[in-house]
Structure 1
Amino acid sequence: MDDNCIQAPSHLKAIDFFCGGGGMSYGMQAAGVRVIAGIDSEKSCQDTYLANIQGAKFINCDVFELSEHKLVEELHVQRNDDNLILIGCSPCQYWSIINTDKKRSEQSKSLLKEFSRFVQYLMPGYVVVENVPGVLRRKKESGLEAFIDWLKAHNYIVHFEIHNTHDFGVPQNRKRFTLIASRIGNEEVSPIKASRKLTVSDVLGESNGFPKVEAGNIDKSSFKHSVANVTPVTLRRLKKVSKDGGDRLGFADDPDLQLPCFIGKDNSFKDTFGRLWWDKPSPTITTKFYSVSNGRFVHPDENRALSLREGATLQSFPKSFEFHGSSMETIARQIGNAVPPEYSRRIALAIIENSNGKL
């Protein structure tokens, strides 16, 4: 099936809870779904969201304080609307295996339960949930088990699985829990796979519009090919890391460069200061992808971390997507926390295909 030929019916519309900078919304919009609104408690996401999601509202509020009645009143949506998609991609720090501060992320564990309030009240035609795999591993505690049971009891056909977005046109290994529930028809709806898997060389490098730059480069244009600076000693370390997939073992035997925390631990945290491979997908793009010491985020050839635009491209954001924020950290957080737009588009295409001829 040629997924690029599918056109969204104009009647499908979506509300995106915990929308962030708009990765999920953008993918839905690219498939032809009309996004009514994005809801997020982070005010810093608003300018990015509104710059890219056409005709949508940005509702800046804490979902714990938002009532179902107020949402219906503000957005003029109807209950039991077969054309409505409710999306809930809640922040996932509590369930993430890479998070170490559970106390700070405690509130995030209840966000799925809060989202379910709106699903139960509105009874939309479709429900989409995207989260870290940990939400499935601890499905009772996260509220996922009860949510799925409720959906099934109310005649939704529920698909839920851990998918790697690399199978869906994203040049990145990123495993995510995905749920798509439908009460339209009798078939399970699952994201549409890509016919080809992309690697770093398919999207980065000079041939793909990324000129060579040095650490500390500041790009004031909307392209945002900005790169974090590094210290002189870190630059010396990077010069010793082999091109195309090398790691910190390249400087492990140099007493002037080896970090004390890595002495005797050559097999631990090898991705730190590691380079991406050209012929492989990137590792998961986190909110710290702009830092060479926070994972395998060093450019395959150049002695620097990934730029903001390179991280966004590995997340499948188009080069035309505008990012707004007060700092590199703010924008990187929007990028790393986002649902890859191409993955979202393929979720939307699956919903469109399901809805065609049934609404």
Structure 2
Amino acid sequence: MDWLAVERVNSKLKAVDFFCGAGGMSYGLSRSGIQILAGIDSALDCRVTYERNLPGAKYIRRDITRLSAPELGRRLGIVPNDPDLIFCGCSPCQFWSKIPTDKTKSARTAFLLRQFQRFIRYFRPGFVVVENVPGIYRRKDESILAEFLEVLRDLGYNCQDGIINASNYGVPQNRMRYLLIACRVARVHSLPEPDSGTPLRVRDFIGRENGFEPVAAGRRDSSRFLHTTAALSEKNIRRLEVTPPSGGDRSAWSSDSELQIEAYRGRDEIFRDVYGRMSWDRPAPTITTKFHSLSNGRFGHPEEDRAISLREGATLQTFPKSYEFHGTAITSLARQIGNAVPPELARRVGEHLAMVRHA
């Protein structure tokens, strides 16, 4: 592979990141040499995070339903039919997620793909990238993905899409995702090539050897490192104390009448990951927006009696330790991290786009 040639092509590529959040996709693409023109999102709490980590890129805080394509063109100086322009659309995905949560609020953002489609019709960029939960693909007729793909093909794009596991792309998580790469200026023959061999492990990213000193539950880190952990009740700490390290789960205390949770009494087979510890020698589970909470998944530290910290979650998402997350509430910061596209996955997508453009 002629990496110098790839870098030359990459230097021409430029991207607009719709639904950018804290900037995982933008940052990863920038690491592949792609210029990030802007991120667009309605979230106020992501603005400082995005701007601090992506100097030179604009953060357009707008509800996409109230943003017109001509206005975006004026603000960014972009024009229709630019073969080197990339539009990324990683819209909020909670409505299509299999995680059993109340879908009432997320229903308002369930069909933002149709809004993204407006901008593609107007600008016809060289490339379109979509990353989302697998549910948007498995329920494509309900999610309007089928309609979206038909529109892309009518506009002259050829598409490659499918379900991938981020653990095959340098991310230490079992994170299943739908990925679409569409291009109208060259032929897309495949999605990025997955790694071969053993997936990365939790111990490759966190732990004392990776710069994470042991901390207790409820620790507040005011530095930019954000090794902050959620507080735990005395009972939850006792539960963790008897949960075996590196992969132990709540079955360890299911026969303890004081520690057992009423909802799981006699039903140990359901939601087995809840209150569990991560394993040192396996990929982490999907880092969600509630990864800081012991009761929302297998988010217990492999050996310390706490859930993983904000920085540990960000590191498992492949954000560099220098990446600054700004906000005042632990829930807001965790949401920024958990909602993000893992930057390493995005970097590989960027390299793949460059190779397609160069072919």
Q: How does 1:169-208 map to 2 (within 5 A)?
A: 169-194=170-195, 197-208=199-210
| Alignment correspondent of 2:62 | 61
| Alignment correspondent of 1:227 | 229
Q: Within 1, Cα distance between the matches of 2:241 and 2:256?
A: 12
Q: Within 2, Cα distance between the matches of 1:248 and 1:81?
A: 54
RMSD: 1.6
| Alignment correspondent of 1:344 | 346
| Alignment correspondent of 1:163 | 164
Residue by residue over 1:124-167, the C-alpha shift from the partner in whole angstroms, topping out at 9 and shown as x without a partner, is: 00000111111111212222111111212222110110110000
For 1:107, give the aligned amino acid: R
- List gaps (5 residues or longer) in structure 2: none
Residue by residue over 1:257-299, the C-alpha shift from the partner in whole angstroms, topping out at 9 and shown as x without a partner, is: 1111111111112211100011100000011110111110000
| Alignment correspondent of 1:73 | 74
| Alignment correspondent of 1:321 | 323
Q: Within 2, Cα distance between the matches of 1:219 and 1:6?
A: 41
**Aligned partner of residue 294 in structure 2, secondary structure:** coil
Q: Within 2, Cα distance between the matches of 1:2 and 1:316?
A: 26
Q: How does 1:23-172 map to 2 (within 5 A)?
A: 23-172=24-173
TM-score of the two chains, using structure 1 as the length reference: 0.96
Q: Within 2, Cα distance between the matches of 1:22 and 1:11?
A: 20
Q: Within 1, Cα distance between the matches of 2:287 and 2:171?
A: 11
Quick one: which of 301, 304, 309 aligns to 1:307?
309
- Report the number of matched residues: 357
Assess, with a 3 A threshold, how the Cα gap between structure 1 residues 192 and 52 changes in structure 2: closer, same or farther: farther
Residue by residue over 1:232-261, the C-alpha shift from the partner in whole angstroms, topping out at 9 and shown as x without a partner, is: 111111100001100011111111211111
How much has 1:6 moved relative to structure 2? 4.9
**Aligned partner of residue 45 in structure 2, secondary structure:** helix
Aligned sequence identity (%): 49
Q: Within 1, Cα distance between the matches of 2:6 and 2:215?
A: 39
Q: Within 1, Cα distance between the matches of 2:218 and 2:102?
A: 30
- List gaps (5 residues or longer) in structure 1: none
Assess, with a 3 A threshold, how the Cα gap between structure 1 residues 193 and 15 changes in structure 2: closer, same or farther: same
Q: Within 2, Cα distance between the matches of 1:332 and 1:108?
A: 20
How much has 1:226 moved relative to structure 2? 0.6
1:280 and 2:275 are equivalent in the alignment: no
For 1:120, give the aligned amino acid: R
Q: Within 1, Cα distance between the matches of 2:3 and 2:205?
A: 20
Q: Within 2, Cα distance between the matches of 1:186 and 1:215?
A: 51
For 2:145, give the aligned amino acid: L
